[in-house]
Chain A
């Protein structure tokens, strides 16, 4: 976390180089232990970023202007990208499941209803969030990372302003709102694209496909819980990766990479835990 670029490199990047230099004496146990310690330190820092963000969200300065700006950056600029990808994923999903249904039971009456249930419960939120993680997460990490390497974050600290309050909290608030909005929108796009595909490829009429009987309270609450969780995870994880940037311009590239990978991993893990909890709370 400390952006004093001289101490950090020893913990993070050159681990493989060390191994090659020191050679055999460092065994499997040592490298496993080093990885474990790295993981623990990373988790602790991430947790501290999360807690401080939450604290400043409720207790910090009120700055609606910067939140609105971030909402524009995160939300409006991702609409086109998300619409394209989710439209295509909607077409793929319906096409693939239609092919399968044809193989087993040639009955398409519940295709739309099952698809809508899956979309509401999981796919709209998870795939949409993965897309947002690549676009928004990479953007946040690159922006904050280049502020770190050009010492603007240190300048903020010198002015007794916590960079988390200034940089991360507006993005956090904006992402909570915009992720949910974008996911609702992209789910709608995916469903409509699926309806068109079903009509063209399998002759399923629109009024059969637009069938909401399988979507219940459980599906909706799981879907919304996922939206909120992903909306929080994307700025926190990628902001953490941005803040722990070191090593000049190359470091910004590394930070972006780590942000995309870690945010995607966070989304996949959250998906698993929320889905499992949802299955236990709302069985059947």
Chain B
């Protein structure tokens, strides 16, 4: 998004740079809204290519499993390592499960899973769509009277949202597993104590649901920005690189902003 502003000549002045930046942000926001409306209309009327959804789910979800596993295990471990000095200070071994569980379920698991999926799936999706656009495969689809939104965009959109939801469930579980065994190794807190702290009443279904709802919102952000920047790619091969960069940055910023808004609304 900063691209047009940075290319402007120094003599152009602050006003023009601000205006250009504002216009490009408005273009992006408008483009995303229109895309969202189009995708929603295809999904609601059932004009959605089922086999494409299936194929994309495999490519996005199954292929991302290794990085999600590694991220989740390490994240859980880090949560316990960070809590360790405080636990030692107050001798509150029984609270490790609650502390790690709360942070993991509500914030860290959805957030880090979303960042990893945005890096892997979102960027990849933009690169693919962008390459299709610059090699005019979209136009070819239109010539064949195939709706590119129903055939390419909507299946990816649905798959990304579903992928993120499932991966977050998976990451919740794995992160707690990693946290429990780090607690045993580092603080010699038995996993049983850890699980008691987790299920002891301070945490409820609400905390899990909070994280899962966030993951759906993040899924929408990633899907929307990666599809939008992919479709609006211009300028050949270097344009694809620029789109990928824009997607990753926009998804990350969007994830953080919406994380705040969702946390605040859910209270």
Contact = CB atoms under 8 A, between A and B. Distances in A.
A252 B239 CA distance: 11
B263 A84 contact: no
A13 to B, nearest CB: 12
Interface stretch (A161-169, A177-185, A253-261): A253-261
A253 B124 contact: yes
A85 B130 CA distance: 26
A199 to B, nearest CB: 15
A265 B131 CA distance: 27
Contact of B115 (A88, A122, A130, A253): A130
B71 A268 contact: yes
A268 B78 contact: yes
A173 interface: no
Contacts of A244: none
A57 interface: no
A264 B260 contact: no
B244 A138 contact: yes
B179 to A, nearest CB: 12
Interface string A230-263: 0000000000000000001110111011001100
A138 B245 contact: yes
Interface in B74-130: 74-75, 77-78, 81-82, 84-86, 88-89, 102, 106-107, 112, 115-116, 118-120, 123-124, 126-128, 130
A142 B78 contact: no
Interface residues of A, number: 52
A88 B120 contact: no
A103 B95 CA distance: 14
A138 B248 contact: yes
A147 B56 CA distance: 30
Contact of A257 (B120, B130, B252, B257): B120
B81 A279 contact: yes
Overall SS of chain A's interface: helix
Contact of B123 (A99, A100, A135, A138): A138
B241 A142 contact: yes
B267 interface: yes
B119 A257 contact: yes
B119 A264 contact: yes
A89 B256 contact: yes
A171 interface: no
B88 A284 contact: yes
B248 A260 contact: yes
Which of A95, A253, A279, A284 has the most C-beta atoms of chain B within 10 angstroms of its own C-beta?
A: A253
A69 B267 CA distance: 44
A19 interface: no
B119 A250 contact: no
A72 to B, nearest CB: 10
Contacts of A146: 237-238, 241
A283 B85 contact: yes
B264 interface: yes
Nearest to A278: B81
Nearest to A86: B256
A253 B81 contact: no
A265 B253 CA distance: 19
B263 A92 contact: yes
Given A138-B123, A253-B126, A268 B107 contact: no
Interface of B: 2, 6, 67, 70-71, 74-75, 77-78, 81-82, 84-86, 88-89, 102, 106-107, 112, 115-116, 118-120, 123-124, 126-128, 130-131, 134, 186, 202, 236-238, 240-242, 244-245, 248-249, 252-253, 256-257, 259-260, 263-264, 267
12 contacts: A100-B102, A134-B248, A138-B123, A248-B237, A249-B241, A254-B124, A260-B120, A264-B71, A264-B116, A268-B75, A276-B77, A284-B85
Interface of A: 77, 80-81, 84-85, 88-89, 91-93, 95-96, 99-100, 103-104, 114, 118, 121-122, 126, 130-131, 134-135, 138-139, 142, 145-146, 149, 248-250, 252-254, 256-257, 260-261, 264-265, 268-269, 271-272, 275-276, 279, 283-284
Given A134-B248, A257-B124, 4 more contacts: A253-B244, A261-B116, A261-B119, A268-B78
